[in-house]
Structure 1
Amino acid sequence: MELRLLVTFEKVADVLSFTRAAADLGYAQSSVTGQIRSLETSLGVDLFERLGSRIRLTEAGERLLPYARRMTELAEEARAAVASAGDPEGTIAVGTMESLTSYRLPPLLEYFHHRYPKVRLTLRPTLGDATRQALRQGTYDVGFLMEPDTEHEGLETEVLAPEPLVLVAGPGHPLSGRTGLTSADLAAAHLVGTEPGCPYRDLFEAELREWAPPFMEFGTIEATKRGVTSGLGVALLPRVAVAEELASGTLVALDWEAPFTLFTQLAWRRGKRLPAHVRLFVEQARRLVSEQSRPA
């Protein structure tokens, strides 16, 4: 079996589309189709079922996929080992979310930019479920998660730090001077937040579902902060995302403690052989993100 055919097979299996696989690999669609047919001919089995405009793996394709992954990863590891005398190099596809990209990752990104210029980081903005799926499929090399659970099916996970959350409001908000707030006290408050799928938004909404306070969706953290500053409501956000506003007094922390804890994590597919430059990224993420999250 030729390695290039296995690489193409793995990509088609990941995205379940000849057209998208061709675009990702830089081939014509006819080349991808021809390579898959060549691989099927050499093995004497069909690897995909053609269902009109859709495809899916056959049982033989399902059995081949883990071997294809191991062989392509081993080839990448061998290539990296041969080139290890020089500076680390390669591309790392990183799944992440806005709050981590903007407020946790800058020291890590700056470190790699200056220290390892031959390592190219490609940041893919996705939320938890989408990030986990992309990791299992091999679309991402590593992914940052902010979740209450620290074990995920099919993934290896490195817990970097707990992620403190804070309920914030504008200085003039009626709840800003009250102490010992309970979830029931928020029933009359207007909630402001990011998009669905954001872990702290979803958990916050679930906690207050009994009282169903009105919710205004702003999408991004920056827009959410502006809405709260303008007096439109209260928002639950990572403390790191509002540290400057709390220090300046444009936002105030309300005396309410979230009944759940989130952890910032780095994950990759279980059993995946991480190339040297990806292992280096994991090591530095562990060091820099953990150090940054420690209280001063």
Structure 2
Amino acid sequence: MEFRQLVTFRKVAGLLSFTRAAEELNYAQSSVTSQIRALETSLGVELFDRLGGRIRLTPAGEKLVRHAERILESVEAARADVTGGPAATLVVGTMESITSYRMPPLLEFLHHRHPGLRLALRPSLCAETRQALRQGTYDVGFLMERETEHPGLETVVLTEEPLVLVGAPGHALAGERTLTLDELRAVPVLATEAGCAYRDLFEEQLGGEFLEFGTIEAIKRSVGSGLGIALLPEVTVAEELARGDMVVLPWRPSFTVHTQLAWRSGRLLPAEVRLFVDEAVRLMRAAG
């Protein structure tokens, strides 16, 4: 059993794909296949069931995943201790609202204080992030959801994320003192794609159809031009509100969401992951 084989095995086990594992490890697929075969031969067991074009872990493979995690995490901890700091690539699941509006102070701090720590940011919806964390594809992930406890994950709440309903200053609803759901249903509502937690909660409360946009920036431009209204995290529209390009409409959702940082439960966090978690908590909680 070789260290390289364990690294490859953990990647294949997390992705359940030889092809994707080869791409992420920058190996030829034949190299990944041969390493897994050699590992199975050395152990005398099959680690994966091959089911046509799909694979899944055997009971022996599921046991080895747990051992491989502990071995590789111990190696990373030893490397960090000997070299005096983390020197690894951390795969982080995130979303546009957090990457653009919550993470810049954290990224700047890590860049200057810990230049050996490389980050690979993976944009994904919360459900995708949770699944990738459980599979080991992501090291840590940001969530923005109503629930703060997730099966198989450990989470830390960074901040409650205020949501505001915004429109252009000249929008027909901007001058109202209060708004009802019926009044909101009568105008175009702009939203991110389905799967975004606060969008899904808003749709559940409001009903009707939304005009979907790929990015928050596209939504903000469209709201500013008077195309419709949108429910967005307040942090994403703070500058527009301060400039008067948008106004907050007099309606509040009946739900709240929290920005959270999550990782797979039961995992012994390597030095670089613990560093990222600690600094994210410190900087993002201070920013509110």
| TM-score tier after normalising by the smaller chain length | over 0.9
Match of 1:136 in 2: 134
Match of 2:184 in 1: 186
- Residue 248 of structure 1 and its aligned partner are, at CA, apart by 1.2
Match of 2:241 in 1: 246
3-state SS, counterpart of residue 219 of structure 1: coil
In the alignment, residue 30 of structure 1 is paired with which amino acid?
S
Where do 5+ consecutive residues of structure 1 fail to align? none
Q: Which moved more, 1:68-77 or 1:125-134?
A: 68-77
Q: Is the 8 A contact 1:93 1:124 kept in 2?
A: yes
Q: Is the 8 A contact 2:76 2:271 kept in 1?
A: no
Pair 1:220 & 2:218 matched: no
In the alignment, residue 47 of structure 2 is paired with which amino acid?
L
In the alignment, residue 51 of structure 2 is paired with which amino acid?
L
Match of 1:255 in 2: 250
Q: Distance between the aligned counterparts of 1:104 and 1:28, measured in 2?
A: 37
Q: Distance between the aligned counterparts of 2:12 and 2:280, measured in 1?
A: 31
Match of 1:48 in 2: 48
Where do 5+ consecutive residues of structure 2 fail to align? none
- Residue 93 of structure 1 and its aligned partner are, at CA, apart by 1.1
Q: Is the 8 A contact 2:87 2:118 kept in 1?
A: yes
- Residue 145 of structure 1 and its aligned partner are, at CA, apart by 0.7
Q: Distance between the aligned counterparts of 1:137 and 1:195, measured in 2?
A: 24
Q: Distance between the aligned counterparts of 2:226 and 2:27, measured in 1?
A: 53
Q: Is the 8 A contact 2:168 2:246 kept in 1?
A: yes
- Residue 272 of structure 1 and its aligned partner are, at CA, apart by 1.6
Q: Distance between the aligned counterparts of 1:58 and 1:38, measured in 2?
A: 16
In the alignment, residue 225 of structure 1 is paired with which amino acid?
K
Q: Which moved more, 1:12-21 or 1:264-273?
A: 12-21
3-state SS, counterpart of residue 242 of structure 1: helix
Q: Distance between the aligned counterparts of 2:226 and 2:28, measured in 1?
A: 54
Which segments of structure 1 move beyond 6 Å, counting only runs of 4 or more? none
- Residue 19 of structure 1 and its aligned partner are, at CA, apart by 2.0
Please provide the CA RMSD for this pair. 1.4
- Residue 94 of structure 1 and its aligned partner are, at CA, apart by 1.1
Alignment of 1:221-236 (within 5 A): 221-236=216-231
- Residue 103 of structure 1 and its aligned partner are, at CA, apart by 0.7
TM-score calculated relative to the size of structure 1: 0.93
Alignment of 1:88-167 (within 5 A): 88-167=86-165
Q: Distance between the aligned counterparts of 1:192 and 1:29, measured in 2?
A: 43
Q: Distance between the aligned counterparts of 1:52 and 1:90, measured in 2?
A: 35
Q: Distance between the aligned counterparts of 1:235 and 1:198, measured in 2?
A: 13
Identity of aligned residues (%): 65
3-state SS, counterpart of residue 31 of structure 1: helix
Match of 1:18 in 2: 18
Q: Distance between the aligned counterparts of 1:22 and 1:215, measured in 2?
A: 39
Match of 1:203 in 2: 201
Q: Is the 8 A contact 2:92 2:119 kept in 1?
A: yes
- Residue 13 of structure 1 and its aligned partner are, at CA, apart by 1.1
3-state SS, counterpart of residue 80 of structure 2: helix
- Residue 59 of structure 1 and its aligned partner are, at CA, apart by 2.1
- Could you report, residue by residue, the CA deviation over 1:74-124 in whole angstroms, capped at 9, with x for unpaired residues? 22122222222xx44322111110001111111111111122211111111
3-state SS, counterpart of residue 160 of structure 2: strand
Q: Is the 8 A contact 1:77 1:273 kept in 2?
A: no
- Residue 2 of structure 1 and its aligned partner are, at CA, apart by 2.4
Count of residues in Structure 1 that have an aligned counterpart in Structure 2 = 288
